[in-house]
Homo-oligomer: A and B are copies of this chain.
Amino acid sequence: MNMSLDIDSVLQKLKEILPGEKEFIGLHEPCFGGNEWAYVKECLDTGWVSSAGKYVEKFESMLAEYTGAQKAVAVVNGTAALHICLKLAGVDCGDEVIIPSLTFVATANAVMYCGAVPHFADVEESTLGLDPSKLADYLKEIAEKRDGICHNRLTGRAIKAVVPMHTFGHPVDLEPLLEVCRQFGLELVEDAAESLGSFYKGRHTGTFGRLSAISFNGNKTITTGGGGIILTNDEELAKKAKHMTTTAKVPHRWAFNHDMVGYNYRMPNLNAALGCAQMEQLPDFLRKKRDLAQKYQALFTGIHGVQVFREPAFAVSNYWLNALIIDEEFVAQRDELLEATNAVGIQTRPVWTLMHRLPMYHQCPRMNLSVSEKLEQRIINVPSSVIMCELK
């Protein structure tokens, strides 16, 4: 029985999988191997780089077609997408929104932009995402439906929505979560920022909630430089999303009228052009990312004290970001492993600090977060770029 994690062995395994000639291996670097130049150059040649141009619509169509969502509305980034999703799901000033504490800060920030309060829920170890049964038990205890609206009996505030986040691309267990939402009169909004190319029981993530948000930041499976998209199966909501994200201007040949407080959230055509070229390569990217994940899994099979996280049985994950899960007894060595890997140019990082620990969210309501708190100490993300498959 090992008394400690063998850091040298882990480092050795990582080196085996990584392209040796590179001095620095980032967590997730983009891959531009298709029509990126051609499409971007066309924007420059025609002058269409900004609010008008064909690539925004084309990118939206490609995303709708690929995910199976009825409609897709391209925006400036994933945070903006989630902000608009929440507003369209009816989240108002003073409401509460259930989100995981284990998430990137954008999930909580988007709630704050609506003037609402994040309410933190725990995740399950098998998905790294919201735990439906723990949430159901918790809501039975603290929530009640009054006039069809879910209320937090402790704070008196309305709870309007549940926002699962598909951590590192791995789908949350959506069906039981949808059932909890139905039971308590809550809207499901998916934070699918990380899960482009991830499927739950054969259906693309981001098509289960009333609305969902995907990110195309530079570190995502595909990138538009900065960008995001809103998915929905509700055509009316999609129209409203487009309207709200384009300053709520009322169409007219020349008059500038706006009928509500809108946002300047549209994706520029230049960025959409990049996105179209990236989308063409998505199946190839996903295949390579799956290969890489399998290599990690095979290599680490014999290493005591560390598991490579695998997609849940009901899911096909995009394996956006691979994660090592350290056994509980070895968490004291997490920082040592982070030091050792980063010191040799292999970028690794722990999971995000849990939301309820951040100063601005420390006073927000939360359930018992024991699983999240344990996982926070155990997760280490490892390099997961598409280009790693190509360099070997």
- Name A residues whose Cβ lies closer than 8 Å to a Cβ of B: 29-32, 36-37, 40-41, 44-45, 47-52, 76-80, 104-106, 109, 112-113, 115, 217-219, 223, 225-226, 247-249, 253-264, 266-271, 274, 338, 342, 348-353, 358-360
Contacts and interface: CB of A to CB of B under 8 A. Distances in A.
A259 B79 CA distance: 17
Contacts of A353: 255-258
A261 B360 CA distance: 7
A261 B109 contact: yes
Nearest to A215: B264
A109 B247 contact: yes
A44 B50 contact: no
B259 A223 contact: no
A32 B52 contact: no
A266 B32 contact: no
B109 A49 contact: no
B40 A44 contact: yes
B47 A260 contact: no
A349 B271 contact: no
Contacts of A271: 225-226, 268, 270-271
Contacts of A255: 349-350, 353
Given A105-B258, A350-B254, A76 B269 contact: no
Contacts of A41: 37
A260 B253 CA distance: 42
A219 B268 CA distance: 12
A217 B246 CA distance: 13
A50 B253 contact: no
Tell me whether chain A's interface is mostly helix, strand or loop, or mixed.
loop
B40 A256 contact: no
A47 B49 CA distance: 20
A358 B258 CA distance: 7
Contacts of A36: 44
B29 A47 contact: yes
A42 to B, nearest CB: 11
A145 B141 CA distance: 50
Nearest to A259: B359
B79 A253 contact: no
A218 B261 CA distance: 22
List 3 A-B pairs, minimum CB-CB distance, nearest first.
A50-B218, A225-B268, A79-B264
Contacts of A270: 225, 270-271, 274
B47 A226 contact: no
A341 to B, nearest CB: 9
A359 B220 CA distance: 39
A254 B223 contact: no
B247 A105 contact: yes
Nearest to A253: B342
A274 B219 contact: no
Contacts of A247: 105-106, 109
Residue of A78, A263, A270 with highest tally of chain B CB at under 10 A: A270
